Chains A and B, each alone.
Chain A
């Protein structure tokens, strides 16, 4: 009887937690139902599937991708489609989990997906990609950064890989002479964060940067950073490198300010989204530099167009690099499909074979970079861009 009581209370608590995490979507559920399901004809359209975390901790990323891709799809359809073929886009929820991503892939296959934009997060993309490789399904992920995500020859990506970001960060800091004594806080149980830091460390050594303090945390102790901040303060570092996600970064910035740590802060694309966090004091992020391919207030024509359209349709909350990557991904698919002469009657495998070749031949100007080209290994070649946060918005550096 006692056991039953204990269990009942545990379950009640567990159910409450499940509810809370599950409900932590980013609030755009009202506008969220415009993808997929409006499919009545199957032969005449080209179906693009994707999966990402639409609920849970990384919902901001998944919904960004969903909205960004949908925006591009709507624009392309309004302008006559790809080679005159209308395209459809459907995004499934995978909660950033491998198992759910495979389920999402199967759901999309039942929907007759012709090609995919893969998943939003890395672990899920590896699982999703392995299934896609088995079926020879074309995959262009907007934002999965782990090297293994595009190991198969049918997979490409829009963003930089983890090692690339680590190397690019170290190069940028060294080339711009931002600092020589560097401290870093990274998340040791996160592939993205540990992957970037590993490469950053070796490249920093090559570039003559000194890493004076190397701190880590795990997802289970990601709320109190006072110990790490204190030891960074004692180390005399001039710059704090944060290859982590924005939610932890916001806490670190707050606690660093309280502890009186006054150093430059440099981050990677995971910090993107920090300004849109609820209850975050944006003045804390003043002067933070980050490596992101997308700055919402850039003045080039492509960005201005994207930002205006996106803001009108989905608001500011999910307008981040992920949305921009996904927007580009759809246009990249369009460019490759036009080059390869794709039509809706081809099988998914034929489309994949044609696109594989076409991807290495195209050059695309997008929101996240100009003159982007791809090698056969699927990695994009583009200039890394850094921005600095100034008065609560990104400024190009």
Chain B
């Protein structure tokens, strides 16, 4: 009993460090932004950093907590991005309040992605092991290809959908084509900014951490660690897996909406296999299961190639080398021991223990 209490406390402490880290980063960045007129590169990177952090945190739920390998995370991002952008472009003139429209499209994009997560999860999460990886990989590609074919236009008589070409939409004179096949959606209003991105990241982290430390989270972790034992004690494996998968898809959708409202040109080329792998790399190199690690890895690995721009043609080479080095170092026992030694959580704990020891 005593021991469990202390463990719970450790988890809470770790969470507090995560929030403190995020808020400190936000305050520092805000001060830098407010005091510098220039630094456009720095400012421009803030929203993408939030987007990829949200992606990494949400994928960490599936990979780290659920213990399943998902290779189609960019597919959910794609759904969120397209739904959100479509809604915003469609109602650009009808909803005068920018923030209201953006909030609605965020919810819409997230929920749609969550629904897709649910639909795909039903058959897929009943599978075991590598099959989930294969099916999610396929799902990501299917979504991308379907969206590529879509032409959607709107005129006085309503929505028109075609999978052939813009001229097959048969729009009236006053109609506009919103989704233009491979060209995607252009002219999405620029509603994303760092504050919104940061708040969304905070919400993602909040939900993620609370989920991990909740009754549901413990059930999910028990499935990850020993599925048969979990089933024996009466945990509904599929149900819990679905919950996590849906939440993860929901936040990927949110990240997608944020993405599409940050850049005015949206097409599917970004939502391919490479992006899914990239986010997986963030999660793995950040330490599977660690929310804080996912964010740190996402920030470092996204910013790195941008920071290396001065090296011109060599930057991609260096990026790859850094990735490999990180992988080697992360798996090195000595490094992990060293990390343990300098860990902040450990430091605080030791001090507390030390103080307790001194008192008694």
Contact = CB atoms under 8 A, between A and B. Distances in A.
Interface of A: 2-4, 6-8, 10-11, 14-15, 17-19, 22-23, 25, 29, 32-33, 37, 54-55, 92-93, 97-99, 102-103, 105-107, 109-110, 122-124, 126-127, 130, 134, 146, 148, 151, 188-191, 193-195, 198, 201-202, 218, 220
B257 to A, nearest CB: 15
Contacts of A195: 183
Contact of A202 (B41, B44, B167, B269): B167
Interface of B: 38-41, 43-45, 48, 63, 67, 69, 71, 129-130, 133, 141, 145, 148-149, 165-167, 180-184, 186-187, 190, 259, 262-270, 274, 277, 280-281, 284, 288, 306, 309-310, 312-317, 319-320, 323-324, 327
Contacts of A130: 190, 263-265
27 contacts: A3-B69, A8-B327, A10-B69, A11-B281, A15-B324, A18-B316, A18-B320, A22-B317, A25-B313, A29-B314, A33-B312, A54-B312, A55-B313, A55-B316, A93-B315, A98-B266, A98-B270, A102-B262, A110-B40, A123-B267, A124-B265, A126-B264, A127-B264, A127-B265, A151-B187, A191-B267, A220-B145
Contacts of A198: 165-167
A29 B267 contact: no
A220 B39 CA distance: 38
Nearest to B268: A189
Given A106-B40, A123-B265, A198-B165, A99 B270 contact: yes
A22 B133 contact: no
A188 B165 CA distance: 10
B182 A191 contact: yes
A36 B269 CA distance: 29
Contact of A14 (B38, B130, B281): B281
A15 B320 contact: yes
B180 to A, nearest CB: 8
B194 to A, nearest CB: 13
Contacts of A188: 148-149, 181-182
Nearest to A4: B288
Nearest to A22: B316
Contacts of A23: 316-317
A32 B313 contact: yes
A194 B151 CA distance: 12
B41 A107 contact: yes
Nearest to A95: B316
B38 A110 contact: yes
A127 B41 CA distance: 15
What are the 8 closest A-B residue pairs judged by CB atoms, nearest first? A22-B316, A126-B265, A130-B264, A106-B44, A191-B183, A106-B40, A29-B313, A189-B148
B186 A148 contact: yes
Given A188-B149, A218-B145, A109 B186 contact: no
A29 B317 CA distance: 13
A220 B272 CA distance: 10
A188 B270 CA distance: 16
Given A146-B183, A194-B181, A220 B141 contact: yes
Nearest to B320: A19
A334 to B, nearest CB: 26
B327 to A, nearest CB: 7
B273 to A, nearest CB: 9
A94 to B, nearest CB: 11
Contact of A194 (B63, B182, B264): B182
Contacts of B270: 97-99
Given A106-B41, A202-B167, A99 B319 contact: no
Contacts of B67: 3
Contacts of B38: 109-110
Contacts of A18: 274, 316, 319-320, 323
B148 A102 contact: no
Contacts of B183: 122-123, 146, 148, 191, 194-195
B312 to A, nearest CB: 6
B184 to A, nearest CB: 8
Contacts of B165: 194, 198, 201
A105 B266 CA distance: 17
Identify which of B181, B187, B314 gathers the most chain A CB atoms within 10 Å of its CB. B181
